């Protein structure tokens, strides 16, 4: 299964705090991915968006070219 994020942004606290900003990435089928970074850079937010536990403030999330969110 291919997962794609197109221009995804996530904002909190009435739009004043942007955790993810204009993120576009393609996770190809059959590939392993590691998500690394310092505390507070949006790793958990990204995983919540990919797991459909949260919705982006802007942008689209697609699974196998079918738009799920956005």
The pLDDT tens digits of the residues spanning 16-58 come to 788 899 999 999 999 999 999 999 899 999 999 999 999 999 9
Cβ-proximal residues to 65 (8 Å cutoff; 6+ apart), any chain: 2, 4
Global pTM reads 0.88
Query: Left if phi > 0, otherwise alpha if psi is -120 to 50, otherwise beta: which for 38?
Result: beta
Ordered strands of the 58-63 beta sheet: 17-27, 3-12, 58-63, 66-69
Model confidence band, residue 15 (pLDDT cutoffs 50, 70, 90): low
Rg of the chain over Cα atoms, rounded to whole angstroms, equals 12
* CA angle centred on 51, ends 24 and 67, rounded to 5°: 55
pLDDT at 69 over 70: yes
Q: pLDDT value at position 25? A: 96
């Amino acid at each position: 299964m291919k997962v794609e994020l197109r221009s995804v942004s996530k904002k909190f606290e009435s739009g004043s705090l942007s955790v993810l900003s204009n993120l576009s990435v393609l996770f190809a089928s059959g590939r392993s991915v590691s998500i690394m970074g310092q505390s507070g850079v949006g790793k958990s937010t990204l995983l919540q968006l990919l797991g459909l536990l949260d919705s982006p403030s802007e942008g689209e999330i697609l699974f196998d070219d079918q738009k799920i969110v956005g």
